Amino acid sequence: MYQKIFPYKFREYQKEFLDFITSNVDKKNLVLNAVTGFGKTPLILSALLPKAVEEGRKIIWIVRTGNEIDRPIEELKKIVEKNGVNVFGFSFRGKKDMCLLIKDMRIRGKIDYEDAKYICDIHKSDCIYYKNLPEKVFYQFKEPKLYSQILSECKSLGMCPYYFQLKILFQATVVSLSYNYILNESIRWIVDYGLRLRKSFLVVDEAHNLQNVCMSLNSDQVSETSIERALKEAKTFYPKGGEVIDFLKLFLNILRLEGRRIEEDKEFDFKKFVQDFGYGKLLDLIKGIHRLGSMVRMDRFRKNRVPRSSLYHLSEFLKKCVENMNVDGVAFILSRDKKDRVRLEMIDMRVNEFLSKVWSISYRSIFCSGTLNPIDDFAKVIGLENYVGQSFPSIFSEKNAYTLITTYLTTKGEELEEDMARSYLNSIDVFIKNVNENVAVYASSYRILETLLKVGLEKIVSENGRRLFLEQEGMSGKKGRELLDSFKKCAKSERKGVLCATAFGRFAEGVDFPGKELEGIFLVGIPFERLNTKTKLYIKYFQKVYGKREGKYYAYILPALKRASQALGRALRSKEDRALFVLGDRRYKRYLNLLPDFVTKNYKLVKNVDELSIESLKYNLV
């Protein structure tokens, strides 16, 4: 039955993947490792749908970003269409995207989730769209819906799309939404009453992101600039001064004074700061800052501006810091940015402790990605128990990819010396010359990329008759998409493109380059986190939890190799795709077991740039 509802012709290993799910999901949580392009989404849906329908369960599919939520529903549409079954599902978006009232208001500035929630809380009782919403929704949906379809249909009926979504959660068998709605306990209740998480299959897509997402979700920061803005807000409302203004000046001066004593970052003793200032006095001030911030938000909203306040955010940040200052696994880091501005971060490193609670409240959790190997290590880091996992072979053969590991190159050390940078440049020159298609150079950090640019990377690209596409740190989403589209178009032109980016950036994960759009990847170094105070504290905490050797492995080594694997996976999507991989760091030899099989099936060590030239020419991609 499960194989019958799959909407495509089966390819290699797909039946085994489907059978593995159906044989094990009744007993255990599942960890599924299969490369990008394997067909994981329609296979998982095909395996779970009959069980969900028969047992009255839901399939909750969570993704990293809102941009990815439509994919499972698009595949569900194909399953429904092929089998003629009546199974409803939809992609769920938050108020920021679904509030018609906000769209009508045309507020100046970019709205985020908190802003949308604030506006809704104020206007919900008198919102015409909310009033037009029926108390109960009994609607027979003929097909699954994308969030954009729900938005459009609700707009034509003049009723609130966001709350309409909440009312139809009960009717849906499949719901796709972002990680935040499940991982963030403070907003989980919004959807849980309609989804019944304890009785549902929870599918975590691109699950290799969980470690970073979890840390980001529970961490926060303030900067010198944001505190200055808070001070300006306070002076606007209390021009004659007051306790809040005095505190802001003091806090800012303390951070600036501490910041002068550091080169990059250091641990900040927040507990000592609280003791010196006075615990009760600080709590009273936080309440005052919060009240003042609320006034600023209301004032901005009345002026048709985004209801955001630096004072309000500072109060939330300080409250969270006070609540967590004695918690093992929470650290406070003071750092300076490139403009020499100070920043204070609260980082929560308790990944295992936090995530394990989430998996315990679902009926079954299914994790999928192309970079979950080694599976037992992945499960240990995210606190998963009672599981069974399997890694499925890639669909790619030795003919699809050729990997060259350069034993004469490395980015190891605090800085990339000029001689080594020029060796990299010579190797990249050979790589570009010998692959007459679109190629990408992924540096292990922006610092390394900047060094390569200083010694002539741009000149090398130009001399080879190629167009340079350079990722800029802090690049906007719009500019990123434009750059990506232009790079892809080069695949069909005579003048090919060279994408220069970092393995940490947006172009190393979540983007696809099928066919001729990308046929070569050069990794400059291994994308380890910079060994600053923040990274060292992260490693130290993991060593406390897992032991000295495993702690460093889980906190530092494994995430770096996953980043490298994600970057390499951009070039191969189908069995017709081909790529040359150059792993530009001798340390990759140690970590071959942590790289995807399509990278290691056909590899060779090269001892110098001449060997690189010979071997890359030998692998003719034309």
Provide, rounded to the nearest whole percent, the portion of the chain with pLDDT above 70.
Answer: 98
> 439 and 569 in one domain?
yes
Pairwise CA distance, residues 327 & 348, whole Å: 9
> 496 and 407 in one domain?
yes
Helix or strand (DSSP H, E) at 335: strand 330-336
Cβ atoms of 51 and 57 closer than 8 Å: yes
> Which pLDDT score is estimated for 73?
97
Using the predicted structure, report yes or no on whether residue 252 has a pLDDT greater than 90.
yes
> Which pLDDT score is estimated for 286?
96
Residue 254: which domain range?
218-348
Give the end of a domain, one of 348, 373, 392. 348
**Full-model pTM:** 0.92
Asked whether residue 503 is assigned to any structural domain, the reply reads: yes
Using the predicted structure, report yes or no on whether residue 621 has a pLDDT greater than 60.
no
Pairwise CA distance, residues 177 & 127, whole Å: 25
Backbone angles phi, psi at 498, to 5 degrees: -125, 115
Using the predicted structure, report yes or no on whether residue 85 has a pLDDT greater than 90.
no
> 568 and 430 in one domain?
yes
Asked whether residue 124 is assigned to any structural domain, the reply reads: no
> 319 and 234 in one domain?
yes
> 412 and 552 in one domain?
yes
Asked whether residue 374 is assigned to any structural domain, the reply reads: no
Backbone angles phi, psi at 277, to 5 degrees: -80, -35
Reported as half-sphere exposure (CB side, CA atoms, 13 A), residue 218 has a value of 23
> 585 and 448 in one domain?
yes
Model confidence band, residue 141 (pLDDT cutoffs 50, 70, 90): confident
Q: What are the tens digits of pLDDT across the range 123-133? A: 999 999 999 99
> Which pLDDT score is estimated for 6?
92
Pairwise CA distance, residues 358 & 60, whole Å: 13
Cα torsion angle, 582, 584, 586, 592, sign = negative
Is 187 in a helix, a strand, or coil?
helix
Provide, rounded to the nearest whole percent, the portion of the chain with pLDDT above 90.
Answer: 80
Cβ atoms of 609 and 600 closer than 8 Å: no
Model confidence band, residue 620 (pLDDT cutoffs 50, 70, 90): low
Q: What are the tens digits of pLDDT across the range 497-538? A: 999 999 998 898 878 898 899 999 999 999 999 999 999 999
Length of the chain: 622
Cβ atoms of 304 and 107 closer than 8 Å: yes
Q: What angle do CA 321, 326, 332 make, to 5 degrees?
A: 50
> 445 and 304 in one domain?
no
Number of domains the chain is built from: 2
Give the end of a domain, one of 348, 369, 393. 348
Nearest Cα to Cα of residue 161 among 91, 100, 88: 100
Q: What are the tens digits of pLDDT across the range 280-303? A: 999 999 999 999 999 999 999 999
Is 178 in a helix, a strand, or coil?
strand
Cα torsion angle, 152, 158, 162, 163, sign = negative
Asked whether residue 101 is assigned to any structural domain, the reply reads: no
Asked whether residue 424 is assigned to any structural domain, the reply reads: yes
> Which pLDDT score is estimated for 138?
66
Pairwise CA distance, residues 518 & 433, whole Å: 15
